[in-house]
Structure 1
Amino acid sequence: MIAKPTRRGVAALLLLALPFMQAHAQEFTATTDPARAQVTLPEPANPALPSLILIGDSTVRNGRDDGQGKGAEGQWGWGNPIAAYLDTTKINVVNRAVGGLSSRTYRTSGHWDRTRPFIKRGDWVVMQFGHNDASPVNDNSRARGVLRGTGPEKEDITNLLTGKPETVFTYGAYLRGYIAEIRAAGATPVVASPVIRKRWEPDGKTVTRAGGNFAAWAAEVAKQEGVAFIDLNEWGAKRYEALGKDIVATLFPPDPETVHTNWLGAAVNAQLVIAGLLQNKVLPEDVYKQRFAPDGSDDRPVVDARKVKVEAPRDPRLPSIVLIGDSTVRSGGQNGAFGWGERLGAFFDTSKVNIVNNAIGGRSSRTFFTEGRWAAVLEQLKAGDWLLIQFGHNDGARIGDPASKNRGSVPGIGPETVEDTRPDGTKEMVQSFGWYLARYITDAKARGANVVVLSPIPHKDRWKPDQPRDFENYAAWGEQVARAHGAQFVDLTMLVATAYRAAGAETVDGLFSDARTHTNDAGARFNAAQVVEGLKRLPKQNFSALLAKP
């Protein structure tokens, strides 16, 4: 249930890395030059499992993989957060990348020789080089550059750094060498182009693609060798353009940094890698804990609403609190995830009120309506009931993009519509987020029910005081529609964010079942408590009289 990556739903996301050392700024020694240092790298946690092994530079693994002790604002590579999206009880994620290296020096430094013994039949190896390959071929600081292109060209040099003779090959030749050795070990190679830099064209809207053609050469080698290719350069550029310049700035440490992402930016890149693995059908389906399309939307199959039974009130004689929403309200324990609506009943006296959770995972305000789920729920509403509405996580999906599963609603609360094409070729006029909310409110009030609109629960990475508030637009739209149509509003986003701040980061980390969106059982209970607090504050509703006694 990751929404389209916009200012409203930016992801984005998870974890770790360190900066390239500047050759002109310091003298390199065996302890500071990664080509000569004996860096401690992780090994497969469970040798009996298959492994996803990563090789590359600091945009994959930075330094000690600890953010330089600066937390989320330090420099991180995507090779750390990617583990949170995979089931590590079924697959090892082994990040053997080393900051400062190129496709050439990863081999000549001996790091490849130290990594190769861990590669076994049935493993997968993702390689991502290029950021350092454009450096000088021969100098007395790094001597890490390669010959440009993918051909057979080579150059014999006396390495000014090591004093030894060396034959330098093209970028493509080094990639082909890794591919051949990975295949010889019975493993599957995957080539990724370098991650995109934070560089904008003069219009401020277009991202500058990779220079030097390393992205194109990576694609060329992958095609020639018949291996999976993940275009992190182009996908990253498109995603940054969708996010916008201001949001992209939050994915990096302060300027002048343009290459190394912070914790959030690393998660964005990790999501793109997951999208590439999925698109190329590289890993078994059951190892993914969370799935993404290249635009950042959730790529998990959406369950057929017709197969999910509409929940009925336990005692029709009692008033009901009826919930509609997405998987943050009801996840059903899938991959350890539970929504707050599944734990709300523990706070109420069920001899006085029914709790009826008819939320369904993967839904937006639009699809809950168009798939007929709302019509079925509406039939059960009666005078004196309460309807609680929480949508927004999936509404930001891109209209017209098949990866978005026809979930996106038009931004805002107005009468604007956008035509979308369904998988069967039929056309749908998509309404605004506010239009769908207004329809739920007016339909429910016509049956005599009370209505409360709640803004979405915040993401795991968007609750701290120094971060932009999550779901700002959806909260504003929800409040406007509620007031205009006689409903009440609870800013659940900020209620939960405030409670997270009081609890602290360590506690909050333990409340989620995945990288950023879905809560576990403890998180569902925690958020349900905030929902109750919000309901208690509403005027003229007297929810307190329905609560269970402590």
Structure 2
Amino acid sequence: MSRHIYWAGDSTVKHNRINTYPQNGIGQVFNLYLKPEITVCNHAENGRSTKSFLDEKRLEGILDTLAKDDFLFIQFGHNDEKEDVKRHTDPFGSFQENLKIFIQEAKNKGAHPVLITPVYRRLFDEDGSLKELVHMDYPKAMLALGEELNVPVIDLCESSRQLLKATGDEGSKKWFMNFGASEYNNYPEGLNDNTHLRYEGAVIMAGLIADGLKKLGGIYEDLLLS
């Protein structure tokens, strides 16, 4: 029986087109780690928070086809941090309340919700040390909610933080949309973007999520190639 993974999330997960090349979202490459019978349905969109995703009724677009024993991967945090009223949420308030909606709606369909904390931003100090708490309390709030509701959480924020710290500033640059002028036609003046990923970075971060699924075991590990 074919199973589906649905992604609800932001631009770090989104499936990109040629007009944003070489940007790749994590959800865009995640099928590399999956068994052939698993289908990825990527509903992630640029700039969305839990609030704006729900307000725009994007969750309804998932629920239209989400079925029993499918999976809903819920990845937010980057834009919930923003101060504008259309997106901002409080980590231990409206952020958690919104996540509860995603979780409950998935369970109502007989699907399996999985919370995924946001990928770490590649931000290093002048001394070469990785900046701390780049996502404030949003990852902690997601972890706490997962424990409260007995919903699995893959802590991509922490695993990517550890990887960036070990790899260093220069070594990790090639993973992100951080490059000089004239390297890519879409960005003739270059780009200094330490949030969004190029192909290799997306594959590596997707691998960290796959590692998380493997650690969860059972139905989650069963999604992966042996």
Map of 1:122 onto structure 2: 69
Give structure 2 stretches of 5+ with no counterpart: 179-190
Aligned equivalents of 1:275 and 1:207: distance in 2? 24
Of 56, 78, 87, the match for 1:144: 87
Is the contact between residue 67 and residue 76 of structure 1 (CA under 8 Å) also seen in structure 2? no
Letter matched to residue 86 of structure 1: L
Conserved? CA contact 1:121–1:185, under 8 Å: yes
Paired AA for residue 2 in structure 2: L
User: Structure 1 residues 284, 221: closer, same or farther in 2, change over 3 A?
Assistant: closer
Question: CA separation of 1:206/1:69 partners in 2, compared to 1, >3 Å: closer, same or farther?
Answer: closer
Displacement after TM superposition at 1:257 (Å):
0.5
Shift of 1:286: 4.9
Structure 2 counterpart of 1:278 = 214
Query: Which residue, out of 214, 221, 233, partners 2:157?
Result: 233
- Helix, strand or coil at the partner of 2:192: coil
**Aligned 1:315-354 pairs, distance under 5 A:** none
Contact 2:67 2:111 in 1 (8 A): yes
One-letter amino acid of the counterpart of residue 17, structure 2: D
Q: 5+ unaligned residues in a row in structure 1: which ranges?
A: 1-47, 152-169, 291-550
Q: What is the identity, as a one-letter code, of the residue corresponding to 1:229?
A: V
**Structure 2 residue aligned with 1:328:** none
Query: Structure 1 residue aligned with 2:2, among 34, 41, 49?
Result: 49
Structure 1 CA distance, aligned partners of 2:133 and 2:87? 22
Identity %: 25
Report the TM-score when normalising by structure 1: 0.37
* Aligned ranges 1:289-368 → 2 under 5 Å: 289=225
Separation of aligned partners in 1, 2:222 and 2:155: 24
Q: What is the aligned length?
A: 214
Instruction: Check conservation: 1:198, 1:258, Cα contact below 8 A.
Output: yes
Residue in structure 1 matched with residue 35 of structure 2 by the alignment: 87
Please give the residue correspondences for 1:368-407 in structure 2 after superposition, counting only pairs within 5 Å.
none
Find the aligned partners of 1:282 and 1:210 in 2 and give their Cα distance: 32
Higher Cα Rg: structure 1 or 2?
1
Shift of residue 137, structure 1, vs aligned partner? 4.4
Distance in 1, Cα, partners of 2:218 & 2:123: 31
**Equivalent residue letter for 1:66:** R
Match of 1:515 in 2: none
- Structure of higher RCO (CA pairs closer than 8 Å, 6+ residues apart): 2
Q: Secondary structure at the match of 2:27?
A: coil
Supply the distance in 1 between the matched residues of 2:222 and 2:70 (Cα, whole angstroms): 15
Q: Say what the alpha-carbon RMSD is for the aligned residues.
A: 1.8
Give the secondary structure class of the aligned counterpart of 1:115: helix
Aligned to 2:17: 66
Q: 1:134·1:145 contact (CA, 8 Å) conserved in 2?
A: yes
Superposition map of 1:490-529 within 5 A: none
Mapping for residues 375-524 of structure 1, pairs under 5 Å: none
Distance in 1 of aligned mates of 2:172 and 2:20: 23
Partner residue in 2 for 1:545: none
What amino acid maps onto 1:253 in structure 2?
M
Matched, 1:134 2:81: yes
Deviation at 1:80, TM superposition (A): 1.0
> Which residues of 2 match residues 127-206 of structure 1 at below 5 A?
127-138=74-85, 143-146=86-89, 148-151=90-93, 170-206=94-130
Q: Give the TM-score normalised by structure 2.
A: 0.88
Q: Are the structure 2 counterparts of residues 263 and 233 from structure 1 closer, same or farther at C-alpha, using a change threshold of 3 Å?
A: same
Q: How much has 1:124 moved relative to structure 2?
A: 1.1
Structure in which a larger fraction of residues adopt helix: 2
